[in-house]
Amino acid sequence: MAYLWILTTLVASVAQTARNAMQRSLTETLGTVGASQVRFLYGFPFALLFLLAVSQIGGEAAPAATGRYLAWVLGGAVTQILATVLMLATMRERSFAVTTAYIKTEPVQVAIFGLLFLGDHLTLGGALAIVVATAGVVMMAVKPGSPGLTAAGLRPAVLGIVAGAFFALSAIGFRGAILTLESGSFVLRATTTLAWSLGMQTALLVVWLGLFDRPALMKSFGAWRPSLMAGFAGAFASQFWFLGFSLTSAANVRTLALVEVLLAQAVSKRLFGQETTAREIIGMTLIVGGVVLLLWTHGT
């Protein structure tokens, strides 16, 4: 059980890599908010199915939601929406790789927010692991001869870093909600929180698009086939993120999640025959070193 969070995080990372690819392809047809909305609208039914299955298998009813619990969930839900919108907006201005460098400052930020809001303390080794792995991501994203992180101006840099901050806050909100629940197994508490969060996010975005961008809302209903797959992938990934948050600090989960960068690199090499440069090898080595240090610190 002490190391189960490692497995859940790895599964979530693979599912999220697939979800991001699907969601990004929808941005051109649905717009930034419309593409953000499909992961919630089409993910919510799957979250309810997950909750029903967990309740039936475990023989437990979903724990009651208190006002404090709902406040944590709402905080996580709203900041995740904002983070997703800002991430897709950044992708429209900069490359996927550079956007990743901005977003993946998240582990550093989630460690700070976790300490401030939840009292999740990090060891010196854990803090060093976060810094080393994050440095590896930045090194892989910024290549010699290509525009630097700030070459396109301050706007995409600010958007990306703020997106990372909102992703960090959403992780803290969801972990805070899970810890607030007083009954149920860690699986039931995580799945209950997933259902509540996706329900809130669906309601908020349907109302927003209905008031301010009805064409995008109608297009999301029309594009239900690709959106359904993106929704399932999103709900599946979130299920395993939440399981990780129920087992260990959000900083541990989000640092290990940097393996997504290695997965993306492997996919690029496999599908597109892209060569791996010496700089990318150094970056990957730093990521792996940071992750190994994190796991070693966690086990000592």
How many angstroms separate the most distant Cα atoms in the chain?
59
Q: How many domains does the chain have?
A: 1
- The amino acid present at 150, given as its one-letter code, is T
Closest Cα to residue 165, out of 96, 233, 90?
A: 90
- Rounded Cα distance between 152 and 177, Å, is 38
pLDDT band of residue 20 (cuts 50, 70, 90) is confident
pLDDT of residue 16: 83
Give the predicted TM-score (pTM) of the model: 0.85
Of 135 and 143, which is predicted with more confidence?
Answer: 135
- Rounded Cα distance between 142 and 148, Å, is 6
- Rounded Cα distance between 91 and 291, Å, is 26
Asked if the model's pLDDT at residue 174 lies above 80, the reply is yes
Asked if the model's pLDDT at residue 293 lies above 80, the reply is yes
Q: What is the DSSP letter of 268?
A: H
The least confident of 95-104, 130-139, 202-211, 229-238 is 95-104
Token representation of residue 212: 């301010």
Of 114 and 230, which is predicted with more confidence?
Answer: 114
Of 187 and 227, which is predicted with more confidence?
Answer: 187
What mean pLDDT is reported for the chain? 84
Work out whether the CA dihedral 215, 211, 82, 45 comes out positive or negative: negative
pLDDT of residue 284: 81
The stretch 8-13 carries a mean pLDDT of: 92
The stretch 90-114 carries a mean pLDDT of: 76
pLDDT of residue 71: 97
Range of the domain at 223: 4-299
pLDDT of residue 271: 52
pLDDT of residue 142: 65
pLDDT of residue 121: 84
Asked if the model's pLDDT at residue 37 lies above 90, the reply is no
Closest Cα to residue 127, out of 139, 138, 135, 118?
A: 135
Asked if the model's pLDDT at residue 89 lies above 60, the reply is yes
Asked if the model's pLDDT at residue 63 lies above 90, the reply is yes
- Rounded Cα distance between 280 and 286, Å, is 10
- Rounded Cα distance between 175 and 156, Å, is 29
pLDDT band of residue 191 (cuts 50, 70, 90) is very high
Of 221 and 187, which is predicted with more confidence?
Answer: 187
Of 139 and 15, which is predicted with more confidence?
Answer: 15
Of 137 and 255, which is predicted with more confidence?
Answer: 255
**266 contacts: CB under 8 Å, gap ≥ 6:** none
pLDDT band of residue 97 (cuts 50, 70, 90) is low
